[in-house]
Amino acid sequence: MRKIGLGILISGRGSNMDALIRACEQPDFPAFVSVVISNRPDAPGLKKAEGRGIATSVVDHEKYPDRADFEKNLQKILDAHPVDLICLAGFMRILGAAFIRPWEGRIINIHPSLLPDYKGLQTHERVIADEKKESGCTVHHVIPAMDEGSVIVQKKVPVLAGDTPAMLAARVLEKEHEAYPEAVRILAGKLKGRQKVGIA
Ligand code: GAR
């Protein structure tokens, strides 16, 4: 089986990254993790990835004068690894069009709401405040507009009476860990082998 290489971008805890790493450890899963990159040097996810023998790298956004420079360095790391698909997994930086365009179709994100509802931050707080009966998560293609781009996988959970944002977040997160590997499997079937591209 031809496997695709994943470049996973994180900013923090890395539980979705971990779910992807674990999926990739299954022999019949059509992907492997090439590299995990964090924009924060202290992201706990980095240690988790290292502990599982995955190459990691830090591109600290605070060290670069502007977004273009940050993204150029991000691209450099991606170029140094066999990456067919970028998976944003709790990556909390907005990427610009110059970075995204060459990757379009091969860069995806996970978001803790049923997009197109509740784009942006504080999703669970807003869902509870609006007294919604249902929430969930979405894996979607990344385009140069935040939390837009076509949906690949969506999973729903009920919002229960008395839910706090943390309780709802935990219920949604369980579904995120199922949804992300599912989405990667779907895309692996569509991407024809390795086709690494870089920004010229
Ligand atoms: C996840 O809930 C993910 O959906 C969310 O951040 C969390 C990261 O957790 N992403 C966003 O809100 C992106 N807009 P993790 O680091 O444990 O995967």
Q: Is the dihedral of CA 93, 97, 100, 104 positive or negative?
A: positive
For residue 200, what pLDDT is reported? 28
pLDDT tens-digit series, residues 175-186 = 999 999 999 999
Number of domain units in the chain: 1
Does residue 44 sit within a domain?
yes
Structure tokens at 102: 């060459």
Q: Which atom of ligand 1 is nearest to the CA of 92?
A: 13
Does residue 198 sit within a domain?
no
pLDDT tens-digit series, residues 66-84 = 999 999 999 999 999 999 9
Q: Which residues of the chain have pLDDT under 70?
A: 192-200
Q: Which atom of ligand 1 is nearest to the CA of 169?
A: 2
Residues with beta carbon inside 6 Å of ligand 1? Answer: 10, 12-16, 45, 89-90, 110-112, 173, 176
Smallest CA separation from ligand 1 atom 16, residue: 14
Smallest CA separation from ligand 1 atom 14, residue: 111
Enter the pTM of the model: 0.95
Domain range for 49 is 4-188
For residue 192, what pLDDT is reported? 64
Give the C-alpha separation, 46 to 42, whole Å. Answer: 8
Strands 31-38 and 107-111: unpaired
For residue 2, what pLDDT is reported? 85
Q: What CATH number is attached to the domain comprising 150? A: 3.40.50.170
Span from the CA of 90 to the centroid of ligand 1 (angstroms): 4
Does residue 194 sit within a domain?
no
Span from the CA of 189 to the centroid of ligand 1 (angstroms): 25
Give the C-alpha separation, 132 to 168, whole Å. Answer: 11
Does residue 140 sit within a domain?
yes
Does residue 200 sit within a domain?
no
